[in-house]
Amino acid sequence: MNLTETAERAVAAYGGRSLWQSAVTLETEVSAYGLAFTLKRRPFFRNVRIVEDVHRPFSALTPIGRNPGVTGILDGHDVRLEDENGRVVSERRSARDCFRIGRRLLWWDDLDMSYFANYASWNYFTLPALLMNDGIAWTELEPGLLEARFPDTLPTHSRLQRFRFDRESGCLLQHDYTAEIISPLARASNVVLQHARNSDGLLYPSVRRVTPRGTKGRALGGPVLIHLDIHDYRVTGNGH
């Protein structure tokens, strides 16, 4: 596919077309905390393991809650919980439809968190593949700034999102969206504070901070809704 100049530079910065076209699985180790967890009465993530399919919305996060043996899984628009033996503990179809009203304004259960945390991490961590996804309408608004219109087939924060990249290195600087399942007013900026390389030399955003977005589109200094530390990040492909 034809990429915009900004998208081409970003894909190259994060490993290149060949790597992401042949990629099958992404494995990360992540810690996360912030007001978004506290408001929904959720425990923080401490060195959780996430395994994702690169080219379809499938993500498995262990542990999803207080039970260390329970994995929260996103599979398309559905979620389920599995125990350490892979047995399904509970499941929920069309999980997004459940966030509109009721007790989810006050607290989330493990299935709720499975939906939110898995789709969000899948969107964040597979970005180079998303930049080459024909189902997403990418528009270059100006050098370094891309606007994405996501299709209904992909679980995501909001259909319309913006991504700002460094114009020289191609590295992601800021990702703007509305976390609609939290609130139509949850306009957020996800700012990349630091990049790192894994043992294979692959570059990835390693520290990210989510805060409210101001009226002029700038990330506010606080409160910190989510702080993400990505401790490890590995991509595997066919034959690996």
**What is the rounded average pLDDT of the residues 213-221?**
89
pLDDT tens sequence across 56-110: 999 999 999 999 999 999 999 999 999 999 999 999 999 999 997 788 989 999 9
| CA distance linking residue 227 with residue 215, whole number of Å | 22
In this structure, what CATH number is given to the domain that contains residue 171?
2.50.20
| pLDDT in the model for residue 102 | 81
* Cis status of the peptide bond prior to 223, with omega within 30 of 0: yes
Domain count across the chain: 1
pLDDT tens sequence across 122-142: 999 999 999 999 999 999 999
- Checking if the pLDDT of 240 tops 80, the result is no
Which residues, other chains included, contact 135 with Cβ-Cβ below 8 Å and sequence gap of 6+? Answer: 151, 153, 154
Query: What average pLDDT does the structure give for the chain?
Result: 96
pLDDT tens sequence across 176-214: 999 999 988 899 999 999 999 999 999 999 999 999 999
Secondary structure of residue 55 in the 3-state scheme: coil
Q: Which domain holds residue 20?
A: 5-237
- Checking if the pLDDT of 49 tops 90, the result is yes
